[in-house]
Amino acid sequence: MVGGGRDAFIGAVHRMAAQLDHQAVFVAGALSSTPEKSLDSGRILGLADDRNYPTWQAMLDTERARANGDRIDFVSIVTPNDSHFGIAHAFAEAGFNVVLDKPMVHSSEQAHALIRTVERTGVVFGVTYNYSGYPMVKQARHLVAAGDLGDIRKVVVEYNQGWLATNLETSGQKQAAWRTDPARSGLGGAVGDIGSHAEQLACYVTGLTIESVCADLTSFSPGRRLDDDANILLRFSNGARGVMIASQIEIGHENDLRIRVYGSLGSLEWRQEDPNTLMVRSLSGPETVFRRGNAGLCAEAAAATRLPAGHPEAFIEAFANVYRGVFAAIRGEASALDFPTVWDGARGVAFIEAAVRSGAGDDRWTTVEATFGAGR
Amino acid sequence: MVGGGRDAFIGAVHRMAAQLDHQAVFVAGALSSTPEKSLDSGRILGLADDRNYPTWQAMLDTERARANGDRIDFVSIVTPNDSHFGIAHAFAEAGFNVVLDKPMVHSSEQAHALIRTVERTGVVFGVTYNYSGYPMVKQARHLVAAGDLGDIRKVVVEYNQGWLATNLETSGQKQAAWRTDPARSGLGGAVGDIGSHAEQLACYVTGLTIESVCADLTSFSPGRRLDDDANILLRFSNGARGVMIASQIEIGHENDLRIRVYGSLGSLEWRQEDPNTLMVRSLSGPETVFRRGNAGLCAEAAAATRLPAGHPEAFIEAFANVYRGVFAAIRGEASALDFPTVWDGARGVAFIEAAVRSGAGDDRWTTVEATFGAGR
Amino acid sequence: MVGGGRDAFIGAVHRMAAQLDHQAVFVAGALSSTPEKSLDSGRILGLADDRNYPTWQAMLDTERARANGDRIDFVSIVTPNDSHFGIAHAFAEAGFNVVLDKPMVHSSEQAHALIRTVERTGVVFGVTYNYSGYPMVKQARHLVAAGDLGDIRKVVVEYNQGWLATNLETSGQKQAAWRTDPARSGLGGAVGDIGSHAEQLACYVTGLTIESVCADLTSFSPGRRLDDDANILLRFSNGARGVMIASQIEIGHENDLRIRVYGSLGSLEWRQEDPNTLMVRSLSGPETVFRRGNAGLCAEAAAATRLPAGHPEAFIEAFANVYRGVFAAIRGEASALDFPTVWDGARGVAFIEAAVRSGAGDDRWTTVEATFGAGR
Amino acid sequence: MVGGGRDAFIGAVHRMAAQLDHQAVFVAGALSSTPEKSLDSGRILGLADDRNYPTWQAMLDTERARANGDRIDFVSIVTPNDSHFGIAHAFAEAGFNVVLDKPMVHSSEQAHALIRTVERTGVVFGVTYNYSGYPMVKQARHLVAAGDLGDIRKVVVEYNQGWLATNLETSGQKQAAWRTDPARSGLGGAVGDIGSHAEQLACYVTGLTIESVCADLTSFSPGRRLDDDANILLRFSNGARGVMIASQIEIGHENDLRIRVYGSLGSLEWRQEDPNTLMVRSLSGPETVFRRGNAGLCAEAAAATRLPAGHPEAFIEAFANVYRGVFAAIRGEASALDFPTVWDGARGVAFIEAAVRSGAGDDRWTTVEATFGAGR
């Protein structure tokens, strides 16, 4: 692991998720950008001294030098966004499999460079768009793909948060500090941090891509340099319309990611804060409520489930499903558990660029310059 | 009553609502545009023969000729939109108080003509934006006005329907036929029929007006001439942002009008399909759930309530509250029960015009040319 | 109307409900047990002087003396429980149709006397178990009767309230005063006032009767002489088991009447505070959510509906459905709208007697001595 | 680990839960009662050959013989109920810390024998009443202990399941087979398997114990020898009343454990299928909705949380909290994370015995012969 020292929220999540199914062991890390802190964190988290690295470069060099079968099988990169490209690129170039946080990199140029590396080296490259790991999201994707909703006409996707409603970044809160800093976070604020999740969820469930956007981006908190509220009209590859809301100033919402998909024959609705349920509506007949763990779900949803129905699964299990998919790919197995890859990451970066361009200019419709589809 | 014969949905609603509190009696009507049907409907609904009129013109002439105190106190006009202006204008000019359905008229020109008449004659003129009659909507308005939410930053207002997901207008369904016909319905489809309700609700709750819109209007049903799906970015008079969704093709939604308002200190959420509840969130502390009928609600919410908490009130009672407000105004009483007026109706027409102009052109930001505020 | 003066809650409800469909007009009344108050209330509510009576006896005598067709068609009796029997019996004996509040009377002896009168005179006699007027309750009854749930195994019925959690009766609140007074309210406190509703709902939906009960009745409020909390095990005529909770001390509940019915093939769930929805579950397949106003509901549910789906109906409309059923019976019409009668009222009294007997003694299983079934 | 081979549901849960926080490693096991299967499972699950045992006796003997610091720190016993006592007793006698599934043992006699052993040897002994590991359950307990609800008057606790609505045990389903077999499951069917969870939850949250019960136990499935439906009236140590529903035949429910607690000042409600939320109501003011992960929760709830608010935690995390508490106790640390112990297990066994005695006889009130309180 690179990044994710003991105070970081997402590092602990990755360690729980990657090891939940006992298919991986945390053996090496460079857990901070400060060598001393890095070593400290590694000691506290139980790394052996000879694989507790002060820097990611040291880790890369040393692990590369280890014998085949004795080196790390993959690296999880969970640093702030600005260092994603350099680290991921170096490890992929060296032939290591990579799991990288989102948004993947700062620009489409970087994204394309990563893609070229992945294509050349053949490494497995996963991007932790973790929400697509939820079983009922996979069921939703299945229903759309099976044609149960007919032609997709409209998608409403929201990621509602309220944690940045105040000037939290001036209070010393680290998460807030780097996520509102363009140098570290990238072009997008809310649109990058959580809009990218919404984009991936919409494309994952529908199998469509977003062709153009018309965005209204605002910074409500005085002095904030990145958007904290994004409201975006969407047009999809098949002509479908959409609305995206990605906000960090909607007080009272926590991680309220939700999606509604409307087709010519039916519709569906899912919320990450109630993740074991999927509502499905059709032109005729009453609404139906699918619940995780029951018979009658698709193979992908069944494979992504660990517990009986009614014993709720949640965030960690969904996150672990991304890792399970990556592990199957590393082992060269066919698996029902797909996972987001470098191409999804690149599409996400193109989306952020288009949204920021639209919002910064005159809010006109702006094309998403993605050269890679959702189904890749 | 003009319009609202025995097969019309909304006529029966108006008759129940107007008489719920036993403050009005249904005594005269011209219930259809076809004289024969009009008389038939009046007989079935129990009108006396001498006040069961074949046409609204006959009703106007005869009622005007009756002695003071013996003529109708007000007229409810519940015809399709295209006849609103002519009938309402004639009755108002003749000095009759008017209750008129929404959207009020077809153009701002007509709206301004109505306003001039109302200002000159001094008649009471109510527009049945019935959703603002709900007690918890009045409580929401109160919380915003009292500053509990701080500065309003964002409004998300939706009116989700699915009943026009198919080509219902070709099946002989009367409601669908006139509502999808530009000649009878006006410029807007979904944006006019239900977007106007959403606009009024947003302005009523926040006390703000919408200054400009950026609209994406679509007709998904083949051959349909008016929009059946409207997704609109909003900017409010105080700089607040917003999103409006008004759709008739979202399968599975019935009359799913909802609003969320976000301020710098808190937020609120309300749904018309669960109308006795109001969710309120603040920067600190847990979410609170206000429910109709309890102590601690504002005077306007209390005055709009008839039943104890837990015995649900719903659509009819809210509709009746608009009438109660009109009746108090006719009697010249001060009342906690406000009601939407000709100025609200005019603002709604200007909103529809702007949204259609934005959507038809290049979806650019378009100014709402309303000369009257929400608080008028 | 007898009782229901201007300060009474339930009188106003009866007047709205009875007149909602414009099939009845409020023309005569003796609205209080105090002659002066009675006349005052009548004047305020617009009764003509010659039919605004000081006492119910005066009303009975005078109305009986009026010409056929000119006298009242029915009387609504909405007084406290202790006067139900005398008034209802006298009007029924005189040949007037009666609508009476629940619990019907104080004892099975009185109930049987009323039944004998109704059988002899042939008057229409409705008891306002209003919750059975909800469309989705009728749909629930239909599903059970149609066998969709298989053999009924279990019923959980609750009427949760919290309004008597404190000693409200000592504060001058009239409702609390008479409802906690055995002389006026009868044998049962919570079990009588709301347990009787729960009993009727359970029997109405399932078509079963309760054969025996094992009750734990408590008065939590110091000094209160009637139970304010009743928890009762139930056994039904077909061997089904059940649980009833009827409580007035469960803080935070308003009028939270709910029922769950479990059969060998499926189950259903309904709540009066969300009355437009009915949840249905089966052995296989996802949960389904039926909503009022949609196609596919039974004739009884459709006949009990006034508004399109999504425009919520609620308490008043359900109450009005009881009156509509009574009116159809008075006119001698066949109607899809059934209504609770004197036999249901008698069964309810027997249930209260058995529960109180069980709870007062050693909480043993006690037989409900009802001689009349649910389907009568 | 003893039991929990590769096909067992609960074994995998224990392994995920125990290792979620990287405080334990799965190093030894006797995973089945059949030696061959045991070794097979161990190989598949990655146990080293020298600690992959054919029988629990072999495991006990060999581990005991290992050097201090080199032997297992604790054993998780996840076998069917009938073997709980023998295995747990032997390991505890040998000085091993034990984590044991519920219901703990088959009789109070066995329970008391275990208690004596634990008291003599001083081993840490946890019982996986996992639902008390949920953060919002800890918050509920805190609110009651802090007096926010006033004097506790009533508890309604339910564990609704539907999975045994049919004769599943005759189909070869292993879980159903042993859980409906008195020899393996013990005296209680539903009342033992899930009623014991309900009992522990009620006592944990309120700090009270159940003094007596009046139970109606039924077997609805033909030929089934244990109850599959239990409806029980409860009386608590402080005079509070209660209702317990524990059912396996309520079609449509999955693991629908819920509790409502009513006091003289307020009430609370929690559901395991929506575990991140706690509803709290008071005599005055609106309902409040506490959510996991936010500021303002008690220390115990905060310590039991891993993820930010809005990223749902669920079953596995709650289960892991029981283990975290056990681990802290093993390390001799003071910890905010309490866990259920042998005394709670004994109280649960006494409850099952009383309920079965009450239900089998004449359903009379029966005393729970527990000598140990909830707060032990």
Interface test with A, best of D13, D44, D307, D313 (most A CBs within 10 A): D307
Check residue D67 and report its DSSP letter.
P
- Condensed to tens digits (0 to 9), the pLDDT of residues A102-144 reads 999 999 999 999 999 999 999 999 999 999 999 999 999 999 9
Q: Which residues of C touch D214 (CB under 8 A)?
A: 214, 216, 233, 363
**C124 and C152 co-located in one domain:** no
Which of the listed residues A73, A106, A130 is the one where a domain comes to its end? A130
Q: Test D287 with B289 for CB contact under 8 angstroms.
A: yes
Question: CATH no. for residue B49?
Answer: 3.40.50.720
**A83 and A196 co-located in one domain:** no
pLDDT > 70? residue A29: yes
H/E stretch holding C175 reads helix C174-179
Is residue B318, in this structure, part of any structural domain at all? no
pLDDT band at C376 (very low <50, low <70, confident <90, very high): very low
Q: Which chains touch B (3 or more CB pairs under 8 A)?
A: A, C, D
**D173 and D112 co-located in one domain:** no
Q: Which residues, other chains included, contact D45 with Cβ-Cβ below 8 Å and sequence gap of 6+?
A: A22, D6, D15, D26, D29, D31
* D314: nearest CB among A16, A26, A314: A314
pLDDT > 50? residue D376: no
Q: What angle do CA A327, A331, A334 make, to 5 degrees?
A: 85
Domain count, chain B: 2
Is residue A174, in this structure, part of any structural domain at all? yes
- Condensed to tens digits (0 to 9), the pLDDT of residues D201-260 reads 999 999 999 999 999 999 999 999 999 999 999 999 999 999 999 999 999 999 999 999
The range of the structural domain enclosing residue A214 comes to 132-315+342-367
B288 interfaces chain D, CB cutoff of 8 Å: yes
What φ, ψ does residue A94 adopt, rounded to 5°?
-80, 0
DSSP helix, strand, coil percent of chain C (3-state; round to 5): 40, 20, 40
Q: Test D308 with A9 for CB contact under 8 angstroms.
A: yes
Q: Which residues, other chains included, contact C337 with Cβ-Cβ below 8 Å and sequence gap of 6+?
A: C300, C303, C304, C321, C324, C325, C328
Mean pLDDT of A43-64: 97
**A149 and A293 co-located in one domain:** yes
Is residue D16, in this structure, part of any structural domain at all? yes
Check residue C50 and report its DSSP letter.
G
pLDDT band at C362 (very low <50, low <70, confident <90, very high): low
Q: Which residues of D touch A22 (CB under 8 A)?
A: 15, 19, 26, 45-46
Neighbours of D16 (CB within 10 A): 24
- Condensed to tens digits (0 to 9), the pLDDT of residues C171-190 reads 988 889 999 999 999 999 99
Q: Test C153 with D249 for CB contact under 8 angstroms.
A: yes
* D290: nearest CB among B286, B291, B294: B286
**A229 and A356 co-located in one domain:** yes
Residue of D nearest to A18 (CA): D20
Q: Which residues of C touch D154 (CB under 8 A)?
A: 220, 229, 247, 249-250
Range from B330-339, C144-153, C355-364 that averages highest in pLDDT: C144-153
State the pLDDT at residue D374.
42
Q: Test D256 with A15 for CB contact under 8 angstroms.
A: no
CB pairs under 8 A between A and B: 114
Helix (H, G, I), strand (E, B) or coil at B251: coil
Is residue C186, in this structure, part of any structural domain at all? yes
Q: Which chains touch A (3 or more CB pairs under 8 A)?
A: B, C, D
* C288: nearest CB among A284, A286, A294: A286
Asked if C38 and C47 count as a contact pair (C-beta separation under 8 A), the reply is no
B162 interfaces chain A, CB cutoff of 8 Å: yes
**A96 and A140 co-located in one domain:** no
Q: Give chain D's length.
A: 376
pLDDT > 70? residue C223: yes
Mean pLDDT of the residues in chain A: 95
Q: Test D154 with C247 for CB contact under 8 angstroms.
A: yes
- Condensed to tens digits (0 to 9), the pLDDT of residues C46-84 reads 999 999 999 999 999 999 999 989 999 999 999 999 999
A271 interfaces chain B, CB cutoff of 8 Å: no
**B28 and B110 co-located in one domain:** yes
**C157 and C169 co-located in one domain:** yes
State the pLDDT at residue D284.
80
- Condensed to tens digits (0 to 9), the pLDDT of residues D156-170 reads 999 999 999 999 999
State the pLDDT at residue C364.
86
- Condensed to tens digits (0 to 9), the pLDDT of residues C302-323 reads 999 999 999 999 999 999 999 9
* C312: nearest CB among B13, B26, B314: B314
State the pLDDT at residue A131.
98
pLDDT > 90? residue C133: yes
State the pLDDT at residue D364.
86
Q: How many Å lie between the alpha carbon of C16 and the closest alpha carbon of chain B?
A: 6
Q: Which residues of D touch A296 (CB under 8 A)?
A: none
Q: Test C161 with B9 for CB contact under 8 angstroms.
A: no
Strand ranges for D40-79 from DSSP E: 74-77
Q: What angle do CA C63, C64, C68 make, to 5 degrees?
A: 90
pLDDT band at A372 (very low <50, low <70, confident <90, very high): low
**B13 and B60 co-located in one domain:** yes
**A64 and A171 co-located in one domain:** no
Is residue C372, in this structure, part of any structural domain at all? no
State the pLDDT at residue B39.
97
Output Rg (C-alpha) for chain C, integer angstroms: 20
Is residue D58, in this structure, part of any structural domain at all? yes
CB pairs under 8 A between C and D: 114
- Which of C3-12, C37-46, D19-28, D210-219 bottoms out in mean pLDDT, i.e. has the lowest? C3-12
Q: Which chains touch D (3 or more CB pairs under 8 A)?
A: A, B, C
Is residue B325, in this structure, part of any structural domain at all? no
Mean pLDDT of the residues in chain D: 95
Q: How many Å lie between the alpha carbon of B164 and the closest alpha carbon of chain A?
A: 10
D321: amino acid identity, one letter: N
Which of the listed residues D75, D109, D130 is the one where a domain comes to its end? D130
**A283 and A361 co-located in one domain:** yes
Is residue B218, in this structure, part of any structural domain at all? yes
CA distance C287 to C310: 20
Q: Test B286 with D288 for CB contact under 8 angstroms.
A: yes
B65 interfaces chain D, CB cutoff of 8 Å: no
pLDDT > 70? residue D373: no
Q: How many Å lie between the alpha carbon of D232 and the closest alpha carbon of chain C?
A: 8
* A216: nearest CB among B233, B251, B260: B233
pLDDT > 70? residue A375: no
Question: CATH no. for residue B292?
Answer: 3.30.360.10
Residue of B nearest to D293 (CA): B286
pLDDT > 60? residue A373: no
Q: Which residues of B touch C13 (CB under 8 A)?
A: 307
- Condensed to tens digits (0 to 9), the pLDDT of residues D330-356 reads 999 988 889 999 999 999 999 999 999
- Condensed to tens digits (0 to 9), the pLDDT of residues A219-271 reads 999 999 999 999 999 999 999 999 999 999 999 999 999 999 999 999 999 99
Q: Test A245 with B156 for CB contact under 8 angstroms.
A: yes
**A104 and A192 co-located in one domain:** no
Q: Test B251 with A364 for CB contact under 8 angstroms.
A: no
A274 interfaces chain D, CB cutoff of 8 Å: yes
Q: Which residue ranges of chain B lie beneath pLDDT 50?
A: 373-376
pLDDT > 70? residue D64: yes
Please choose, from the candidates C373, C364, C81, the residue with its C-alpha nearest in 3D space to the C-alpha of residue C206. Answer: C373
The interface predicted TM-score (ipTM) is 0.96
State the pLDDT at residue A337.
85
Q: Test B290 with D288 for CB contact under 8 angstroms.
A: no
Neighbours of C223 (CB within 10 A): 9
Q: Give chain C's length.
A: 376
Q: Test D229 with C267 for CB contact under 8 angstroms.
A: no
C119 interfaces chain A, CB cutoff of 8 Å: no
Which of the listed residues B130, B158, B192 is the one where a domain comes to its end? B130
